[in-house]
Amino acid sequence: MSRRSKKLAGSIKGTAVTLLCHCANKLALKCILMLFITFPSLASSNDTSMKNQVNAYANLAHAVLYEWNYPSKHSNEEILLKLHQSDIQSDESDISVVFRHTMALSNVQHKNTPRLPIVIKRALLEKHWQTLKEFNIRVYAALRGYYIYIKGINDYQGSLKRLSATIPALDDLKQELLLSGDTKAIAIATLWLAIEYSDSSPIRAIQEYENALPYLPIDKFDNKLEMEFDQQGVHYLLADSYLDLNIPSKAAYHTRMQISLKKKLGTLDTSDFTLAVSALNRLSKFTEALELLKEANSIEPSQKNFKSVYIDMLRMSIYASRLAEGDRERLLEISSRIINSSADIPSFSLDVIPTATAIYTAIKGSDEEFMAAILAYEDAINEKLMTVPYKKKALLGKFLALKHIYEVRGDAENAFLYQEKYREMIVNYHDEKFQLSASNKLNMLSRDIELAKYRQKELATLQKENTGLAGDKEKLRTTVFALITIICSILTTWLWIAKRKSDTKADTDSLTGALTRRAMLKQLKSLLKKHPASCLALIDIDHFKRINDKYGHAVGDEVLNTFSQTIRKRIRKSDLLCRYGGEEFLIYFENSSEQEVKSVLDELNYAFSRVAHWEHTDKAFTVSFSSGVVALNGSISSESVIKICDELLYKAKNSGRSRVESTTLAHA
């Protein structure tokens, strides 16, 4: 190639490169401009996508938290399908971590029932919660409130001791959300706080419900998780709370509001009339209650074939409370209709047929038939108690129902007896709640005091820094002596606590948690003098050696522990339980009659015999016990009483086991 050709080629090449660079720069500039123009819409699109994902996960969480293993619109199989379709198991986002942990935690208490197959891949951290809060603060409030509640349930194994942890945590959540200004989110956190207060401080619970009510919607929800927090639901909770406090006028108001709201939304069900009828019965507004049932009869219920039975049960409660002229005949007709109904009775209404039978035999049956019906009713209630979450409420309902059944029978003495049992239990029920309330207030106060001390120290440090004060040798010496004094004080306190713990441990059986024989005998001497009208019961588990031989000592220990727990849940705080030796237990019943103690022991035997599945063996078996009871009407030595108990226990064993033999001693 000639020089000229090379030069021309070089010139063309240079021009081409220049043009290419110029075009590339223009293209890059256009791309950058387009990116700036489209970036907000891209971000908006991502936000919308994430918010939709949060709502989808919220709907899934609602099905898991509120419907898994419970009779509802969705079966377990349908929920599993939803879980699979959501693809949450493979999602690595921060919000998926929150939902997976909460759903997994909700399953921990589901024993002897299917467990949801949720995989936990990463630890749940505060940053995960804050990501959810950023995208949907209301779902954050609902889910975090539930998480605090269910974690408390699991950590404290269902005990109300959880309130010392859950109430401060929920109060912190509420304070956090108050800063956000989102009234719906604040109201949701307030409701969770109210729900926990309902187990310790009913008045405070009502106050929190009332605070949340105006800020909750009636409809317009983005997802089903938010639907759990609406005005009609809070009206129901308020009605229930006021009935608990025996303020039926306020309860009736809130039930009317609930029914009105649900009617507007087209979600009214026959079950929504239960509290309204209960409140009107207590107000003796029986005509209004019967009118209300006419409206209930026009509603399409969720349990279609159970509708007529359900309304008949409500109608029966009105007539049994009123007992005006002709009401017994009406009760006879209604109870007969329920007994002969072919409707499928749901599991949560196991007592429907037995209640109707008890009412029917109260009017028309012989004494033998009536007592058999009463026993069948009590068996049904005891079985129902195994499945319902609020056992004390169910027991209160049992005593009130028995009061009405005996009134229908015309047995004023037994009606009065169950009325007194109801009153005594409701006093104890609220007494426990207010004791817990005082304890929680003390814990909250302690926390505030500690915070005040911390802030005071912080202020003192700042003052020293500002004034430039430095501690000299004398101050240092004083500080050292003060520290030595504090350490000595702490050591003294620690030694005292250790001694108290040691004494308690020595007085308590390590396996069952019951008192030791030594501790029991030590207390009995003074108790029998102080309360001469008391009872002692010596109990022995039937065929316990056979259990140890057949299933092993681990199962035997589990039986003993379960037995002790069953007794301790049933007896009063003033009563004492002792592991007397091996499989023998001794119970002291303060100020109790022979008949009362026999009744309690029969209940315990029934409850204990219902346990068939054990953790340490796959084999199912049931256990019973025999007992000897001595009732006292005067002061007598504990050794003499226990000896008679032992003789009666031996008699019970020889008479076929699983029974109570008793006697009453009278001594001056």
Give mean pLDDT, residues 121-148. Answer: 92
Instruction: From 565, 575, 579, 645, select the one nearest 611 (Cα to Cα).
Output: 565
pLDDT of residue 469: 41
My answer on whether 636 and 616 are in the same domain is yes
Instruction: From 432, 430, 431, 435, select the one nearest 247 (Cα to Cα).
Output: 430
Domain encompassing residue 180: 48-229
Mean predicted lDDT score pLDDT of the chain: 80
Quick one: tokens of 615? 């953790």
Percentage of the residues of the chain whose pLDDT score is greater than 70? 77
In a domain, 291, yes or no: no
**HEC secondary structure over 651-666:** HHHHCCCCCEEEEEEC
Cβ contacts of 258-266, under 8 Å, gap ≥ 24: 258/232, 259/295, 261/218, 261/231, 261/232, 261/235, 262/232, 264/218, 265/218, 265/219, 265/232
pLDDT of residue 19: 42
In a domain, 168, yes or no: yes
pLDDT of residue 433: 55
The residue behind tokens 């007194």 is 420
Judged against a pLDDT cut of 60, whether residue 451 lies above it is answered with no
Judged against a pLDDT cut of 50, whether residue 270 lies above it is answered with yes
Which 8-state DSSP code applies to residue 516? P
Give the highest mean pLDDT range of 112-116, 308-312, 630-634, 648-652.
648-652
pLDDT of residue 495: 52
pTM: 0.58
Q: How confident is the model at residue 391 (pLDDT cuts 50, 70, 90)?
A: low
578 Cβ neighbours under 8 A, 6+ residues apart: 514, 515, 516, 517, 519, 520, 585, 586, 587, 588
**HEC secondary structure over 384-420:** HHCCCCCHHHHHHHHHHHHHHHHHHHCCHHHHHHHHH
pLDDT of residue 366: 93
In a domain, 54, yes or no: yes
Q: How confident is the model at residue 485 (pLDDT cuts 50, 70, 90)?
A: low
In a domain, 312, yes or no: yes
My answer on whether 387 and 498 are in the same domain is no
In a domain, 485, yes or no: yes
In a domain, 483, yes or no: yes
My answer on whether 220 and 319 are in the same domain is no
Percentage of the residues of the chain whose pLDDT score is greater than 90? 33
In whole angstroms, what is the distance from residue 471 CA to residue 395 CA?
Answer: 66
pLDDT of residue 474: 53
pLDDT tens digit sequence for 525-571: 888 888 888 899 999 999 999 998 888 888 999 999 999 989 988 88
In whole angstroms, what is the distance from residue 577 CA to residue 605 CA?
Answer: 16
Q: Which of 229, 248, 271 is the last residue of a domain?
A: 229
Q: Which of 425, 440, 461 is the last residue of a domain?
A: 461
pLDDT of residue 18: 46
For 581-593, give the DSSP string: ETTEEEEEETT--
Judged against a pLDDT cut of 80, whether residue 12 lies above it is answered with no
Q: List strand residue ranges (DSSP E) for 176-220, in order.
A: none
In whole angstroms, what is the distance from residue 352 CA to residue 559 CA?
Answer: 33
pLDDT of residue 405: 93
My answer on whether 534 and 502 are in the same domain is no
My answer on whether 438 and 561 are in the same domain is no
pLDDT of residue 17: 40
pLDDT of residue 146: 94
Count of domains forming the chain: 4
Is residue 58 within 8 Å of residue 97, measured between CB atoms?
A: no
pLDDT tens digit sequence for 29-52: 444 445 444 444 444 556 678 888
My answer on whether 525 and 624 are in the same domain is yes
Is the pLDDT higher at 431 or at 397?
Answer: 397
607 Cβ neighbours under 8 A, 6+ residues apart: 382, 566, 570
pLDDT of residue 640: 86
My answer on whether 428 and 490 are in the same domain is no
In a domain, 501, yes or no: yes
Q: How confident is the model at residue 20 (pLDDT cuts 50, 70, 90)?
A: very low
In whole angstroms, what is the distance from residue 574 CA to residue 588 CA?
Answer: 9
pLDDT tens digit sequence for 234-264: 999 999 988 888 888 999 999 999 999 988 8
My answer on whether 437 and 310 are in the same domain is yes
Amino acid identity at 102: T
pLDDT of residue 276: 92
pLDDT of residue 346: 67
Order across the sheet with 625-632: list the strands: 576-581, 584-589, 535-541, 625-632, 660-665
My answer on whether 202 and 319 are in the same domain is no
Q: Which of 229, 247, 267 is the last residue of a domain?
A: 229
My answer on whether 495 and 553 are in the same domain is no
Q: Which of 60-64, 339-343, 451-455 shows the lowest per-residue confidence on average (mean pLDDT)? A: 451-455
Judged against a pLDDT cut of 90, whether residue 665 lies above it is answered with no
pLDDT tens digit sequence for 613-640: 888 888 889 999 999 999 887 767 888 8
Give mean pLDDT, residues 303-330. Answer: 85
Quick one: tokens of 261? 């709201």
Judged against a pLDDT cut of 90, whether residue 648 lies above it is answered with yes
pLDDT tens digit sequence for 69-112: 776 677 888 889 998 998 888 888 999 999 999 998 887 776 66
My answer on whether 310 and 457 are in the same domain is yes
In a domain, 29, yes or no: no
Q: Which of 17-26, 64-73, 144-153 shows the lowest per-residue confidence on average (mean pLDDT)? A: 17-26
Give the H or E element holding residue 540: strand 535-541
Give mean pLDDT, residues 177-193. Answer: 92
My answer on whether 340 and 193 are in the same domain is no
CATH code where residue 569 lies:
3.30.70.270
Give the highest mean pLDDT range of 3-7, 32-36, 430-434, 587-591.
587-591
Q: Which of 57-66, 157-166, 231-240, 420-429 shows the lowest per-residue confidence on average (mean pLDDT)? A: 420-429
Q: How confident is the model at residue 456 (pLDDT cuts 50, 70, 90)?
A: low
